[in-house]
Amino acid sequence: MNMNFSVGPSSDTYYAHILATTASGLLVGSSAWTSFGVMPSIIAAQTSSHAKLSIFDGLIKRTNTVIPAVTAVAASAFSYLAYYSASPTAGSSLTPGANAAYGIARRNLTIGAASLFAALGLQVLILPLNNEVSEMVENGQGKEDNGEEANKRIEQVWVLYAGRVALSAIAFGVGLTELYKL
């Protein structure tokens, strides 16, 4: 079977596969750590809303500087791969089985890109909630309560972060699967 394309340690598509898989793995790992490690710990803490939201505010300011950029890079790498690496070179004659393999790879890579663009879209819903938390901390709200207001705010964001974890895991799975096929 003559496929007339090169995928190996020296090809652009190989490095794009590595970038897409690594970035989506970083995204799923950091989002899972935040969602399932940090947020439940903040909710469980027996302290005021102001203290909880102050910790949460510091966390979200740091993660929101990195997460959107990593998501955009991974989504771009998957998009590049779906468009360029999953197609044969012009003029090559392929067997029906090889054409089917290209179609499957293109579909998988498109699913990976779409899941990351959806994760990036969740940022549009997360940012207003994060801004409300920052405003509450700056105004000193919740210093005398039992933390219920903070728990409510953090749980709202937690649901969206859990969605980000799921979407990132889809992309990471696609990246690993397609990388394994190389």
User: Would you call 4 helix, strand, or coil by DSSP?
Assistant: coil
Burial class (CB in 10 A: 0-12, 13-18, 19+), 71: buried
Helix (H, G, I), strand (E, B) or coil at 46: coil
User: 92 pLDDT exceeds 60?
Assistant: no
User: Where do the structural domains in the chain lie, given as residue ranges?
Assistant: 12-181
Q: Are 151 and 157 in contact (CB under 8 A)?
A: no
Token pair 């496929």 is found at 3
Residues 148-172 have pLDDT tens digits of: 888 998 999 999 999 999 999 999 9
Specify the higher pLDDT residue, 23 or 147. Answer: 23
Quick one: CA dihedral 59, 60, 65, 69, positive or negative?
positive
Q: In which residue are the tokens 């409510």 written? A: 152
16-49 pLDDT, tens digit per residue, is 899 999 999 999 999 999 889 999 999 998 988 8
Report residue 38 as tokens.
């940090």
Q: pTM of the entire structure? A: 0.83
